[in-house]
Amino acid sequence: MTLFDPQTLLTALGPWALGGLSLMVFVESGLLFPFLPGDSLLVTAGLLHQGLGLSVAVIALCAFVAAAAGDQVGFFLGHRFGRRWFRPDARVLKTAHLERAEAFFARHGGPALVLGRFVPVVRTFVPLAAGTSGYPYRRFVVWNLAGAFLWAAGMTVLGSLLGGLPFVADHIDLLAIALVAVSVLPLVLTAVRRSAGTRRRKEALGDLS
């Protein structure tokens, strides 16, 4: 069983699947641990809902509550502690992650809480960025609830719709792998761009010397 194999994870959890899913959504949203398979987990849960003995509505509702509650925690952590926990060389709480979220929030404002929901890593740190920047709490709540609902319901319903396609139903394991790959692709591209930029800067400094 692995966190990055949603089908195996949900099946192994059995009657605890709904609780496990809700816990992981909450942790990814509010406890500053961005490397959980949020998107692929919800889509896979929608795909497997009948086998799990769960309705699409129940999965979406629990995910919505967990996502909204997680963002509340992230906002208050940002409001209370700001950037003090972050370090450039940290494994998880990297300054670069927070800076990326802050830039995203500065560019989009309140709607970043909706848009960021669909971007891995960004969805973990945008609520923190909102709290750090002193964004009005009442506005935060509105955008937070909207983003959590659209993401939780959208991903779960998407999975249930895909499950009605014969090819998808017969190849759920392949789809789960593809979903995880798509989820981590933005992280890979960001790392590649950062590495390429660092290499170009070193080459430029070498030319100057």
| Distance from chain centroid for Cα 77 | 17
What confidence score (pLDDT) does residue 182 get?
56
Average pLDDT over residues 142-165: 88
Question: Measured between alpha carbons, how far is 187 from 35 in angstroms, rounded to an integer?
Answer: 10
Average pLDDT over residues 132-160: 90
pLDDT digits (tens, 9 = 90+) for 72-112: 999 998 888 877 777 777 666 677 777 777 787 788 778 88
What's the token pair of residue 126?
């945008």
Question: Measured between alpha carbons, how far is 82 from 84 in angstroms, rounded to an integer?
Answer: 6
What confidence score (pLDDT) does residue 94 get?
73
Where exactly are the structural domains of the chain?
Answer: 6-208
pLDDT digits (tens, 9 = 90+) for 3-59: 567 778 888 888 899 999 999 999 888 877 766 777 888 988 998 888 889 999 999
Question: Hey, which of 44-48, 104-108, 177-181, 189-193 has the most confident mean pLDDT?
Answer: 44-48
Question: Measured between alpha carbons, how far is 41 from 155 in angstroms, rounded to an integer?
Answer: 9
From the list 118, 110, 124, the residue with the least C-alpha distance to 32 is 124
* 121/61: higher pLDDT: 61
Q: Give the per-residue SS3 of 26-61.
A: HHHHHCCCCCCCHHHHHHHHHHCHHHHCCCHHHHHH
pLDDT digits (tens, 9 = 90+) for 113-145: 888 888 777 788 888 888 887 888 998 999 999
What confidence score (pLDDT) does residue 203 get?
60
Counting runs of H as helices and runs of E as strands, what totals does the chain give? 11, 0
What confidence score (pLDDT) does residue 56 get?
94
* 61/40: higher pLDDT: 61
What confidence score (pLDDT) does residue 40 get?
81
